[in-house]
Structure 1
Amino acid sequence: MGEEVGSRSYTREQRRRYREKVREDLDVFERMLGGTAFEFDRPLTGLEIELNLVDEDLEPAFRNAEVLAEIADPEYQTELAQYNIELNVAPRPLPGRAALELEEDLRASLNAADAKAWRTGARIVAIGILPTLRPEHYRRPWISDNNRYTALNDSIFVARGEDIRLEIEGPTGERVSTWSDSIAPESACTSVQLHLQVAPGEFAAHWNAAQALAAPQLALGANSPYFFGRRLHAETRIALFTQATDTRPVELRNQGVRPRVFFGERWITSIFDLFEENVRYFPALLAECSDEDPAAALRAGLAPELSELRLHNGTVYRWNRPVYDVVAGRPHLRVENRVLPAGPTIADVLANAAFYYGAGRVLARQERPVWTRMSFAACAENFDRAARDGIDARLYWPGFGEVGADELVLRHLLPLAHEGLRDWGVAPEVVERYLGIVEGRCVSGVNGAVWQTRAVAHFERHGADRPTALRRMLAAYAGHMDGNAPVHTWPVP
């Protein structure tokens, strides 16, 4: 959810002071990269899963405060809309059988949370975009009771000066074309965030590798084909999130001003490139200042919190985000991978994670890395194609030319993922379980988006209108989700 803030609006003086503090933090961060001891001796992985709440009719249940009170577990937190919550998983090492233990823990945690949620008349569903959402759901109070979200909403609309235009067209001509007077549609986009702690000198290689992998990840994991009742992109979440948080009126877009949801525009040589770019190009949305003197803290041998820089960084929505954090007095750096949608099952989520961590490890350590042989423009085009076409996307890769995403993964990236997980010291049975799921998706051509689309088409062929077909599909989806069998094995109803 990001850290809470104390205010819902800010004065011009607060914004001026905040800009000064962000620049002070950036200067101190640059000095730290030149000599501070960052924590990376035992690299950790982390996981966040954003979730939807639905009622007995499988429509959004706007009661996250009640649900969280019932769950009463600090790992579950609020999210943007009242029908969203988030599960935060404590960081842990990757080697050995840790992933199998994590799968068991997560499934048990979600089962317990779902049972408690049901006491309020809600149940939990992990899906990229809740397919039963309709425009009228946002005509009621929808935003969570949280200063951060209210301030973000207000700041985005002050920056834009006008309502947000949503314009997305699917492969069969179905489209959403509408205006929104709030960032409510952003709340439709629920994701899985994968964290990897890295050393400062290795950050650029890991971020570049994550950028190159983003398109294959998205093609394999697409799970968001429906929004407002229309069949749109395989991973509609990408276009929707980009448009729903756009601070630019059309004139600034025409000038080439960067969007707040940002894939990037170049390969990097240091994590500083990203933080400096964020400060240079993106105005503040929130302006919360701390009392910390970061330079004094650094001189005293302490790890500065750099609260203003971290807050600003959290409002630039890169699909692979750089993270600076301090835990138990030790600073560390992470790559936060934000590409993937939520769901369909915990097994699928961990298969996606295994593929990312394994293939990314090898790509980051190659003598002649992929980003020296592929233009960044080609990488960005891959990302757009994967979002639009999912597992059917054709992607460019050096040495292969333009190739189907499934073939690229089977012939090249999956072997790299096997190698990378072995290098991590991951147990063979873990590697086979999760990468076997990835292979199964490629061979069958079925991921979450494909299954959803086929299920809706089945119900429509048997006489259901679109809203009924979506509800029936979601009911079947939720049952399979609870069973935890990988999505490529699910039968079409």
Structure 2
Amino acid sequence: MGDDISSGSFTREQRQRYREKVRRCLDVFEKMLAEHVFDFDQPLTGLEIELNLVDRNWQPDMANARVLAAIADPAYQTELGQYNIELNVPPGPLTGDSLLELESMLRKSLNHAEAKANESGSEIVSIGILPTLAPEHFQDDWMSANPRYAALSEAIFAHRREDLELDITGVESLKMFADTIAPESACTSVQLHLQVSPAAFAANWNAAQTLAGPQLALGANSPFLFGKRLWAETRTELFLQATDTRSPELRNQGVRPPVFFGERWITSIFDLFEENVRYFPALLPETTDEDPEAVLAAGKAPRLQELRLHNGTVYRWNRPVYDVVDGVPHLRVENRVLPAGPTVVDVLANAAFYYGAVKMLAGDDRPVWTKMSFDAAKANFDAGARHGVDAMFYWPGFGEVSWDELILRHLLPLAQEGLDRWGVSASTSDRYLTIIEERCKLRRNGSWWQSEAVQRLESKGMSRHEALTEMLHRYSVGMHSNEPVHTWELP
């Protein structure tokens, strides 16, 4: 969700003071990287899952306050839209059967949340973009009651000075304008966290960037937006356009958007934070009373709240994270590439593939990013999002290669070895990586299933709205079965 703020509007003086404070924080952070001890003795992984609420007619249900009160679990929090909630999973090790235990815990937690939501007439759906969502659902009160969201919306439009334009062409085309950031709330994702040492951060971030395209081809789950079939993973382009602070003229000048893949390989986490400060204006310029230099001089870890808050409004697909827990600082790579769903077991299969492959790619003596341009990694990301199971990638040693061949021949064996090096049990690796293997062999993911289901329902005479509604109903049945999406039957 990001850090909360106390105010919804800011003065010019506040913005100037915030810029100065962010630069002070950046200087302190640079000194900490050189001198401070970070917690990384036992690398930990974490997970966040954003979820949607629907009513009994499978339409968005603006009920998160009521549902969260019923769930009564601090692990569940609000998200931007009143039809969104988020589940935060505490960090833990990957070793042994930890992923199997996590699967059991997640299913138990989500089943409890679903039962509580059902009592008030809501259903929980884990999906990249809710396919029954329509622009008219944003005509009334749709935003969650959190000052951060209202301030963020105000800041984006203050920078743009005009309505947002959505213009996405895929299988079909969507072109519309929006006078709020409501379309951003359609983007629901899974976020994978990996705690690393300062020295290992750059290699892990670069490795994660190379994997972004294959992740999308493997896990795309967002083919529909506002009734239109667009990209296999429409969420990535929607998120970029729905948070864009730039007018068309600024885009033409090459000004960078807040949703940012990046533009170069890095040598340190400092590169990313320094880019954030240099390139991106403050959207939420709230300052604290912390004196970071004094805190560091006293031998403690400063919160660097201004730097963290600023980082939270630059939406990199692999985001650098600095945090302090129990007085000890640590660094994380936050992988934000994947959509939510379709099932818990699919989510954990995606996670196992990511953690295993990153482990090996980051530790390679001659890493792949030394043989591959950054532009090629970005092109792979775009191809995975646009085309899903039809994506083609560039990869050193393979040239132009289909996503399934690349994963089956190269990345899946790497993921297997990486999980072994993490200390993951053989039974755990087999459970999740077998799902990845079968998805590749059948060339099926959540986006493929959604698109095929809607096409078949329409061929039986249903309208697009009827087909999307029925598809979502059947999707929910598959989601609750926890059977991998590549095994789901079609209408």
Q: Classify the TM-score, shorter chain.
A: over 0.9
**Residue of structure 1 in register with 2:167 after alignment:** 167
The one-letter code of the counterpart of 1:351 is: A
Matches within 5 A, 1:151-230: 151-171=151-171, 174-230=172-228
Write out per-residue CA displacement over residues 437-458 of structure 1, whole angstroms, 9 at most, x where no aligned residue.
0001000111000000010011
CA distance in 2, matches of 1:167, 1:57: 29
1:169 Cα deviation (Å)?
A: 1.1
Corresponding residue pairs, total? 491
CA distance in 2, matches of 1:279, 1:14: 16
Verify: 1:123 aligned to 2:132, yes or no. no
**Residue of structure 1 in register with 2:101 after alignment:** 101
**Residue of structure 1 in register with 2:28 after alignment:** 28
CA distance in 2, matches of 1:388, 1:260: 20
1:63 Cα deviation (Å)?
A: 0.7
Matches within 5 A, 1:161-310: 161-171=161-171, 174-310=172-308
**Residue of structure 2 in register with 1:40 after alignment:** 40
1:343 Cα deviation (Å)?
A: 0.0
The one-letter code of the counterpart of 1:423 is: R
The one-letter code of the counterpart of 1:477 is: Y
CA contact (8 A) 1:218 1:390 kept: yes
1:149 Cα deviation (Å)?
A: 0.3
DSSP 3-state at the match of 1:339: coil
CA distance in 2, matches of 1:46, 1:335: 10
**Residue of structure 2 in register with 1:359 after alignment:** 357
Write out per-residue CA displacement over residues 264-319 of structure 1, whole angstroms, 9 at most, x where no aligned residue.
00000000000000000000000111100000000000000000000000000000
**Residue of structure 1 in register with 2:343 after alignment:** 345
1:35 Cα deviation (Å)?
A: 1.0
**Structure 1: runs of 5 or more not aligned:** none
DSSP 3-state at the match of 1:104: helix
Write out per-residue CA displacement over residues 418-452 of structure 1, whole angstroms, 9 at most, x where no aligned residue.
00000000000000000000001000111000000
DSSP 3-state at the match of 2:337: strand
**Structure 2: runs of 5 or more not aligned:** none
CA distance in 2, matches of 1:131, 1:82: 16
1:233 Cα deviation (Å)?
A: 0.1
DSSP 3-state at the match of 2:489: coil
The one-letter code of the counterpart of 1:82 is: Q
CA contact (8 A) 1:81 1:144 kept: yes
CA distance in 1, matches of 2:140, 2:434: 44
CA distance in 2, matches of 1:473, 1:345: 15
1:118 Cα deviation (Å)?
A: 1.2
CA distance in 2, matches of 1:106, 1:383: 29
CA contact (8 A) 1:49 1:342 kept: yes
TM-score normalised by structure 1 residue count:
0.99
Aligned residue among 417, 425, 428 for 2:426: 428
CA RMSD of aligned residues (A): 0.5
The one-letter code of the counterpart of 2:74 is: P
CA distance in 2, matches of 1:88, 1:309: 22
DSSP 3-state at the match of 1:322: strand
1:120 Cα deviation (Å)?
A: 1.8
**Residue of structure 2 in register with 1:404 after alignment:** 402
CA distance in 1, matches of 2:42, 2:318: 22
Matches within 5 A, 1:62-101: 62-101=62-101
CA contact (8 A) 1:392 1:406 kept: no
